[in-house]
Chains A and B, each alone.
Chain A
Amino acid sequence: METKPPLYGLMAEFESPTDLVEAARQTYDEGYRRINGYSPFPIEELSEAIGFHRNSLPLIVLIGGIIGGIAGYMMMYYIEVIDYPLNVGGRPFHSSPAFMPITFETTVLCAALAAVFGMLALNKLPQPYHPVFNAERFALATRDRFFLVIEARDPKFDHDKTLEFMKSLNPKEVIDVEV
């Protein structure tokens, strides 16, 4: 007997953002938690509907900025006061006003790097393989279609019952997604 490949989850396809958000809300209310929505553009309501609230990125960026600012200033202090004091037109070695522009630049630089790499890290990108790509129609998720996935590892997941439920959400179609 052929063994079926393990199941990643069930995927429902929708034609409009409104349908997807509505379906996501019902799915969340039904008690499913391991769910995700996929859309060709950001939909604010969607991330709320699937219960995604905590976003630690702003904190990461703040920390990046603070580190950048302190490191930039400390670097200049070390160079100009400790390691290589140079008398330039009689100005003090520790010329804090003259250090401000570079402190600002290193703050922005480190905060921006934290924003970009923090976002990629939290999103676990780059990620060359993901089960959702196995669905043939999923290529349209970057064009004009909207998808809702309930993962098989959700405690409430039961293939037949979940399939039944997803069909009641009025999707275009529901398919199995293999791992």
Chain B
Amino acid sequence: MPEVDQPHDELGAHETEPMIEPGHTFASVTDKISSLVLKRKTPLGWFIGFGISFMLFQLFMLAVTKLVFTGVGIFGTNQPVGWAMPIINFVWWIGIGHAGTLISAILLLLRQEWRTSINRFAEAMTLFAVACAGMYPVFHLGRPWLAYWLFPYPNTMGIWPQFRSPLMWDVFAVSTYAIVSALFWFIGLIPDFATLRDRAKSRAWQVVYGLLAMGWRGSARHWARYETAYLLLAGLATPLVLSVHTIVSFDFAVAQVPGWHATIFPPYFVAGAIYAGFAMVLTLTIPLRKFYGLEDFITDRHLRNMAKVMLATGLIVAYGYMMEAFFGWYSANQYERFMIWNRMTGPYWPYYWVLILCNIISPQLIWIKKVRHSTIALFIISLVVGVGMWLERFVIVVTSLHRDFLPSSWGMYTPSVWDWSMFIGTIGLFLTLLFLFIRFLPVISIFEMRTILPQAEVEEEAA
């Protein structure tokens, strides 16, 4: 393929690079992807990566143990900043998860076939990110062993949850999201489990994958219903993913705190979530395709498309920041005006300006063709955006709370060592789960890769 990057040539037809390198057959695609799982020898790099992740995960276990024995006082959370690292990290993780659903559901409905080679991986990322996100509200409860009180169940105390609160909406949104993402992921895996069952050499794995495949045999009737179910799930997951981050933003927007009480929050949070999520997908797929030699399937075109989505959502986020500042000024409300001024020039000013640098300035480099074509540059930008999105939540949460209405109750917030331990620990949990996933399940959807091969087309005879 020539060096073409314009989406349209003069005829208006698509002139893009392939989604899959030419020369692959059904057999070669199947063998290549399934061999990552079935190949007996686990690469040394996997053990090293898994080992480091698992150690970080132990940090999480340590922090949680300390927390359960001592109480939430070990966190830096205080008055007036009563909502700090746990909510920041919760929103950060759940946002990262959103790109997975976007790739698997929304791009499926939009018939963006390039999604095929990254959707399985992105969905796994969603699940694990949601698992990490869920840790924060649960362990921030103070008495996490009573977390089930959040759900409405008939109980001897005769009390019920309060459904006018966005925090209850959150419980339903996040748990629905976790369940639907898991179902979507599992349904997508069934035909691939069948492939692994038929290709596994050892009896034990044949049984394990056989149980998971549930007797899938690729019958035409099954495929027809399967496709319907998959499409309907995508159709359901699409509004769901938008609703989840909207509801997360309601946690803030429904409150009266200056800087939170804004109608821009839902769309701006959703865009931010997709932005952070695509950054994370890039951060993870770039090393993955390198170490496992998957360049045939995850081509440069995929990286570039993801970078473009990142740029687009980054611009929406930039609009959100501008509107926040505009609302602060235009509201003519002294608290709102002070909040935005304090955010930019108050004690947390470096956070704000580094956030602008990471989230607004750095992705603009993607406009440059050379940057867009450089894997290393995309990797660095995606890391920077990941940091920027974390800072965004920090700025929203902390700068709004630390100086609100009454100057007599102003304060400062510094995360404690346990805040950091738990945050780094969830990164360990996330990576541990990802490494296990890469080792035991096909990272690329095998059956969907078969469908995008040219020979999968049924040729109609010109009768």
Contacts and interface: CB of A to CB of B under 8 A. Distances in A.
Whether chains A and B associate is: yes
- Chain B interface extent, by class: 35 or more
Nearest to A109: B176
Contact of B236 (A101, A112, A118): A112
A79 B163 contact: yes
Nearest to A88: B164
A40 B30 contact: yes
B348 interface: no
Contacts of A155: none
A55 to B, nearest CB: 6
Contacts of A166: none
A111 B237 CA distance: 10
B214 A127 contact: yes
Given A88-B164, A119-B229, A126-B214, A40 B447 contact: yes
Nearest to A123: B222
Contacts of B165: 88
* Prevailing SS type, chain A contact patch: helix
B27 A143 contact: yes
Given A55-B225, A113-B183, A142-B191, A41 B163 contact: no
B354 interface: no
B215 A126 contact: yes
A101 B172 contact: yes
Q: Max chain A CB contacts within 10 Å: which of B158, B222, B250?
A: B222
A50 to B, nearest CB: 6
With most chain A CB atoms within 10 A of its CB, the pick from B191, B215, B229 is B229
Given A43-B458, A84-B159, A109-B176, A116 B183 contact: yes
Contact of A104 (B180, B199, B243, B448): B243
B221 A52 contact: yes
B217 to A, nearest CB: 6
A84 B160 contact: yes
Nearest to B193: A142
A12 interface: no
Nearest to B239: A108
22 contacts: A22-B461, A36-B219, A36-B221, A40-B191, A41-B448, A42-B447, A42-B451, A46-B458, A50-B221, A55-B224, A58-B228, A105-B240, A106-B176, A111-B236, A116-B233, A119-B228, A141-B218, A142-B197, A142-B199, A143-B30, A143-B195, A144-B30
Interface of B: 25-27, 30-31, 152, 158-166, 168-169, 172-173, 176, 179-180, 183-184, 186-187, 191, 194-195, 197-199, 210, 214-229, 232-233, 236-237, 239-240, 243, 247, 250, 447-448, 450-451, 455-459, 461
Interface of A: 16-18, 21-22, 24, 36-47, 50, 52, 55, 57-58, 61, 65, 75-76, 79-80, 83-84, 86, 88, 91, 95, 98-99, 101-102, 104-106, 108-109, 111-113, 115-116, 118-120, 122-123, 125-130, 132-133, 138-144
